[in-house]
Structure 1
Amino acid sequence: MSQQTGSLISCTFVCLLLAFFAGQSLPVEGANILGVFTSHSPSHLIIHMSAMKALAEAGHNVTVVCTSVPKVTHKSIKQIVIPLTEEEEKQLNAGMTGMAKEKPSIINTFKNLLGSLSMYIDKQVDVLEDKRFTDLYKNKDNKFDAVVFGFFFNYYQVGLGSLFNCPLILSWTSAPMSIVDESVGNPELIALVPSMNVAVKPGQAMNFKQRLANYFGTTLFRFIGFYLETKNVVFYDRLWGKIPDMISYDEAKKNVSLALCNSHAISEGPVRPNVPAVIEIGGIQIKEKPDPLPQDMQEFLDNAKNGAILLSLGSNLKSENVKPESVEKIFETLSKLKQRVIWKWDDLKHTPGKSANILYKSWLPQDDILAHPNIKLFITHAGKGGVAESLYHAKPMLALPVFADQPNNADKLVQSGYGIRVDLLTLEADEFKASIKELLQNPIYTKNVQAFSKLYRDRPMSARESVVYWVNYVLRHHGAAHMQSPLVHMNFIAASNLDVYAFLAFVLFIASLISFVVLRFCYRKCCGGKGKPQKSSQKSKVKKH
């Protein structure tokens, strides 16, 4: 072999080796990703769309199906909006009004989800039967490399992975809960992880009373889960039961590659073990650099010499849902403050009242407003997204929770020293005023949220980077089945080791039985044999007499 030939072979080998390693390390770009977000909750959509925006910015081709026009989007995201009818909007609004008139509790939340707000669950099926969605999979030219679906009591949507023959990723707007845990085989730890009805300060263990409440709360949620599973089976069959290549619902449940959860356990708590498929993206909607505010808001806040307050009760609860008496008391208090107030109010033609220090807006860039240095207090319904934004920007909170996870979020921020809770249903002007005064004048609240903000921001990767990396990871490894927890493929008996305990109990029973028989036999041999002849001889003596 000539020297020139040898050099050529060596060069070729080196090039192939470099190409191999380059191919292993190159990020995935230009994948076709479908987002399916059927929950009719604007706050949920903000979280889901923030993750999809990160993927679009990373160079992926993103298509999104949702029920309302998203506030967060990207120029390259294709939107397919399948809205509710006007009548359905009225029904949902009526359900919200009913919830706002009830004392917030886990029982009332579940009662409403299964009653007046059951349409939140059922309507999602209609979205997937709409021609605008069905065309996506009936058109064979459409090819998706991954599907991200927003979870909200719609677990039958795990069939989307099989429907589009690609990896499936679950997006959830809070910390991992039981159904999310089950989807990726995350261990459920009732003694360690508080449920929606128990609030525990980060870093603290639950006491006996809290663990007892946590047990009953988790049990209640399981009963709700059993009920929803019966609906999931029906919905799954209704949507895709006649499609020949679709796998069964039981098999589809085992095909979730990732669970993107809007949480950050290191700072928020509870510290708990998570399987690799649980990816925490808490604060995904928060911008690293806030966008410029609209001119009127910017000037209003810039000129707030005594500071400013933001009041927003979220996107699900409309202004008209709140009791007029409560609205009147809130206005009476806020209008007398020296601080300026930006108040989210839906009907700008009929506001609670006019005051020079109050600016009403039907929609607010909440994250950008909270980033303004003159904001000193956030009056909030204690939704997960708003609480995260307020803590990130180190703003104390006055919580007015209404339903779902809001009471728990409010209790947790009170225990952590980040704010005060007042019940919206029983709100009194004096209590409301005193709470605002305490939060504005006592520096301990600001000090506490500033300490939290440092923890919340300190991460090896930002929430956006985490979304992009792990979705790319799933794409590179065709679903990443290798990191799936074995718990996904185990039934309740095996996962709880009940069969092992039953076997050990059986072995112990047999061993005890054998021991008893052996000991009885030995006793008879050693002790029982001498007594019987004496007894018989005594009887014979009696007979002789």
Structure 2
Amino acid sequence: MRILLSLILFVSVSEFARCAEILAVVPSPFFSHQATFRPLWLKLAERGHKLTLITTDPMEPNENITQINYNGSYTIMNNKIGGVLKSNYNLFSIVLEFINASDEFMTYQFNHPGLMELLNSKKKFDLMLVELLMPGWPLLSVKFGCPFIGLSTMDGHQNMHAAVGNAIHPAIYPYADLGIGENPSLKDRLASTAFVVMSELVLNNAMSYIGNKYARTYIDKDLPDVRDVFSNVSMIFINSNPIFFPPRPVTPVTVNMGGGLHLKEPKKLEKDLQKYLDESKHGCIYVSFGTTVNSAYLSAEQKEIFTSVFKDMAPMRILWKFDEVNIANKPKNVEIRKWLPQQDVLRHPNLKAFITQGGLQSMEEAIDSAVPMLGMPFYGDQNNNVNKMAHKKFGLKLSPKEMTKETLKAALKEVLENPIYKKNIDKLSAISKDQPMKGLEKAVWWTEYVLRHGTQHLRSPSADIPLYQYYFLDVIAVLAICAYVMYKLTKYLFLSLVNVVRKLFNCFIVKKKKE
């Protein structure tokens, strides 16, 4: 009995010893970014780790998770950047608007009472997991003296890949928000290269300046440059679904969760919703533009187009997640609710199509349930995602700005009646599910691997060489100089030889004449 109790105690102590204090930071005000990593926080907490979570969308209380509520970031974003997003301006406009709004944004984030309390508590952390989107946050790993793992809800941006030595190429791996398709034209390649150069020379320096300024003002004036800290990232977790992003050669410290990290086990629908879908004998179309695109993004004319076309589609039913429940002229075959359990709605067999803004997580959910889509992108990476959807023919693209009653009706008719879209998404759904290990399992295992061993032994030399060496620009320059010198030397010798021959020939002619 004593031996058994000792063994139980030993196992308990061993499990406790493996538990860690983890700081998790996802400060971007987009619910989809928060939802992507929630399963990871919950699974780590379930395994006994203690998490301190900085989030804009707090979860249900959990005894192992202490949450710091950054929900005020939404107000600043809507006031300062919301107008740009609603106007569907380009990426450059959004970046410039963020820089203009950075003072209010970063003052709120780095001077937050919850963060100040955490810093004053002198708490120690074994590891930090941080979304690499908002500037300056990796500097907290220096303040707490712990390694950090970088997070991205999609494929990582160029600097993120460069920090760990992954392959980067503006033509093969263009920035997602540029919306460049599968076979980039010369114009696309020029635009992508120009954006990379601008990012390297202007944007990254601006973001680093912003991060350094506010972190040093509110956290510690002696913090190092965020660029130096960023380059020491222990590992990166990216959510690069191979259906949307081209395969990329990566180093061992890159963990691709493969998309669908946020997918949950099926749950029963509420009785009234289950009844509504069960009784949709002629099929049902689900409409949702995500958590950010609300009624303010749609004009009265666009709303009227939707209601008119939906009315004409009766007896087929429409289930619409929308904040404007009492929309004008709502047809009888349309049910509007402010919130719906999207994953379980998409799993219903009577669901025939999904009208979506093209958010990555929404598209992954539709692929998982094999529901063809009509993509209507508004901003950000949505345009790029929908372009890929249309290219791979598991859905169609229709720009909200170009939408008319005729184009919307024709697009829905094509998606619903042409079997190619259902056939292709069935195939993609099977591919996306056929993985040796789920993304959540990979993320948990590698998080604990970093806690156990660190990753210095996995670091690639390619992470520490400058771009001019990475692209052989110095070698090309030396070879070009050598080729130029050889050309000049060869030309000189050739001309000298010609002159000698000419002189000898002239001498020979003169001699012949004298004879």
Structure 2-normalised TM-score? 0.85
Aligned to 1:438: 414
Superposed CA offset, 1:250-280 (max 9, x none):
3212111222112222x44412312222221
Aligned to 1:133: 115
Superposed CA offset, 1:156-195 (max 9, x none):
3232222221111111121233232223221212343344
1:53-92 to structure 2, matched below 5 A, reads 53-70=42-59, 76-84=64-72, 88=76, 90-92=78-80
Alpha-carbon distance in 1 for matches of 2:305, 2:99: 28
How many residues get paired? Answer: 497
Pick one of 334, 347, 352 that aligns with 1:376.
Answer: 352
1:4-153 to structure 2, matched below 5 A, reads 29-70=18-59, 76-84=64-72, 88=76, 90-92=78-80, 95-102=81-88, 108-115=90-97, 119=101, 123-124=105-106, 126-140=108-122, 142-152=123-133
Alpha-carbon distance in 1 for matches of 2:478, 2:135: 34
Cα distance change on mapping 1:211 and 1:162 into 2, 3 Å: farther
Superposed CA offset, 1:26-63 (max 9, x none):
99842111111111111222113333233323332222
Tell me if 1:316 matches 2:292: yes
Cα distance change on mapping 1:287 and 1:505 into 2, 3 Å: closer
Contact 1:55 1:467 in 2 (8 A): no
1:346-385 to structure 2, matched below 5 A, reads 346-348=323-325, 350-385=326-361
Alpha-carbon distance in 2 for matches of 1:391, 1:248: 42
Alpha-carbon distance in 2 for matches of 1:85, 1:523: 77
Cα distance change on mapping 1:99 and 1:288 into 2, 3 Å: closer
Alpha-carbon distance in 1 for matches of 2:491, 2:77: 72
CA RMSD of aligned residues (A): 3.4
What percentage of residue pairs aligned between the two structures are identical? 26
1:213-228 to structure 2, matched below 5 A, reads 213-228=188-203
Alpha-carbon distance in 1 for matches of 2:477, 2:55: 48
Cα distance change on mapping 1:410 and 1:533 into 2, 3 Å: closer
Cα distance change on mapping 1:27 and 1:395 into 2, 3 Å: farther
Q: Which one-letter code corresponds to 1:247 in the other structure? A: P
Pick one of 228, 250, 256 that aligns with 1:251.
Answer: 228
Structure 1-normalised TM-score? 0.81
Alpha-carbon distance in 1 for matches of 2:200, 2:100: 14
Query: Which has the larger Rg?
Result: 1
Shift of 1:427: 1.7
Contact 1:410 1:421 in 2 (8 A): yes
Aligned to 1:481: 456
Residue 332 of structure 1: SS of its match in structure 2? helix
Superposed CA offset, 1:306-350 (max 9, x none):
2222111111112122111111110122234222222112144x4
Cα distance change on mapping 1:220 and 1:334 into 2, 3 Å: same
Superposed CA offset, 1:275-297 (max 9, x none):
22222123344435223333332
Shift of 1:139: 2.1
Residue 447 of structure 2: SS of its match in structure 1? helix
Contact 1:399 1:420 in 2 (8 A): yes
Residue 383 of structure 2: SS of its match in structure 1? helix
Shift of 1:532: 10
Cα distance change on mapping 1:198 and 1:404 into 2, 3 Å: closer
Residue 251 of structure 2: SS of its match in structure 1? coil
1:146-295 to structure 2, matched below 5 A, reads 146-152=127-133, 154-196=134-176, 197-200=178-181, 206=183, 210=185, 212-241=187-216, 243=220, 246-265=223-242, 267-295=243-271
Residue 95 of structure 2: SS of its match in structure 1? helix
Cα distance change on mapping 1:68 and 1:90 into 2, 3 Å: same
Superposed CA offset, 1:188-211 (max 9, x none):
12343344335545xxxx3xx535
Alpha-carbon distance in 1 for matches of 2:348, 2:285: 11
Pick one of 388, 396, 399 that aligns with 2:375.
Answer: 399
Superposed CA offset, 1:448-481 (max 9, x none):
1010001001111101011111111211112x02
Q: Which one-letter code corresponds to 1:425 in the other structure? A: K
Aligned to 1:466: 442
Aligned to 2:470: 495
Shift of 1:125: 5.1
Q: Any gaps of 5 or more consecutive residues in structure 1?
A: 1-21
Residue 256 of structure 1: SS of its match in structure 2? coil
1:297-312 to structure 2, matched below 5 A, reads 297-312=273-288
Q: Which one-letter code corresponds to 1:292 in the other structure? A: K
Aligned to 1:5: none
